[in-house]
A = this chain, B = another copy of it.
Amino acid sequence: MSQTNRRWIFAKPPEGRIGPDTFRLEIAPLPVPGPGEVLVRTLLLSLDAANRAWMMGKTYRAALQVGGVMDGFAIGEVVASNSPDFAVGDRVEGSLGWQLFACLPASALTKRRADVAPELLVGALSVTGLTAYFGLLEVGRPKPGETVLVSAAAGAVGTMVGQIAKLAGCRVVGTARGADKGEWLVRELGFDAVVDYTQPGLRRALAAACPRGIDVFFDNTGGPVLDAALTLMNVRGRVACCGNVSQYNVDKPGPGPMAVPGLVVVKRLRLEGFIVMDFFDRREAAEAQIAEWVAAGKVKAVMDTLDGLERAPEALIRLLDGGNRGKVAVRM
* Smallest CB gap from A255: residue in B: B255
User: Which residues does A use to contact B, with CB under 8 Å?
Assistant: 59-60, 219, 222, 226-227, 239, 241-244, 247, 253, 255-275, 278
Q: Are B271 and A278 in contact (CB under 8 A)?
A: no
A-B CB contact pairs (8 Å), 22 listed: A60-B266, A226-B260, A226-B261, A227-B256, A241-B265, A244-B261, A244-B265, A247-B262, A255-B256, A257-B257, A257-B260, A261-B271, A261-B273, A263-B273, A265-B273, A265-B275, A268-B274, A268-B275, A270-B270, A270-B272, A270-B273, A272-B272
A226 cross-chain contacts in B, Cβ below 8 A: 260-261
Q: A270-B271, A270-B272 are in contact. Are A262 and B278 (CB under 8 A)?
A: no
Once bound together, how far apart are the Cα atoms of A253 and B244, in whole Å?
Answer: 24
A269-B271, A269-B272, A270-B273 are known; give 13 further A-B pairs, CB within 8 A.
A226-B260, A239-B261, A242-B265, A244-B261, A247-B262, A255-B256, A256-B256, A257-B257, A257-B261, A264-B271, A264-B273, A268-B278, A270-B271
Q: Which of B239, B258, B261, B275 lies in contact with A241, CB distance below 8 A?
A: B261
Once bound together, how far apart are the Cα atoms of A103 and B76, in whole Å?
Answer: 78
Q: Are A260 and B256 in contact (CB under 8 A)?
A: yes
Once bound together, how far apart are the Cα atoms of A273 and B255, in whole Å?
Answer: 21
A244 cross-chain contacts in B, Cβ below 8 A: 261-262, 265
Once bound together, how far apart are the Cα atoms of A275 and B264, in whole Å?
Answer: 11
Once bound together, how far apart are the Cα atoms of A269 and B275, in whole Å?
Answer: 11
A56 to chain B, nearest CB (A): 9
Once bound together, how far apart are the Cα atoms of A241 and B31, in whole Å?
Answer: 53
Once bound together, how far apart are the Cα atoms of A275 and B265, in whole Å?
Answer: 7
Q: Which of B222, B257, B266 lies in contact with A59, CB distance below 8 A?
A: B266
Q: Are B261 and A269 in contact (CB under 8 A)?
A: no
User: Which 6 A-B residue pairings sit nearest by Cβ, starting from the closest?
Assistant: A256-B256, A264-B273, A265-B273, A256-B257, A271-B271, A241-B261
Q: Which of B243, B247, B268 lies in contact with A273, CB distance below 8 A?
A: B268
Q: Are A256 and B253 in contact (CB under 8 A)?
A: no
Once bound together, how far apart are the Cα atoms of A258 and B219, in whole Å?
Answer: 16
User: Which of A241, A257, A258, A278 has most B Cβ within 10 Å?
Assistant: A241
Q: Are B260 and A260 in contact (CB under 8 A)?
A: yes
Q: Are B278 and A273 in contact (CB under 8 A)?
A: no
Once bound together, how far apart are the Cα atoms of A56 and B177, in whole Å?
Answer: 36
A241 cross-chain contacts in B, Cβ below 8 A: 260-261, 264-265
Once bound together, how far apart are the Cα atoms of A264 and B257, in whole Å?
Answer: 12
Q: Are B219 and A261 in contact (CB under 8 A)?
A: yes
Q: Which of B219, B247, B270, B273 lies in contact with A267, CB distance below 8 A?
A: B273
Q: Which of B227, B243, B262, B269 lies in contact with A265, CB distance below 8 A?
A: B243
A273 cross-chain contacts in B, Cβ below 8 A: 261, 263-270
Q: Are A222 and B262 in contact (CB under 8 A)?
A: yes
Once bound together, how far apart are the Cα atoms of A219 and B265, in whole Å?
Answer: 10
Once bound together, how far apart are the Cα atoms of A219 and B268, in whole Å?
Answer: 13
Once bound together, how far apart are the Cα atoms of A60 and B267, in whole Å?
Answer: 7
A271 cross-chain contacts in B, Cβ below 8 A: 260-261, 264, 269-272
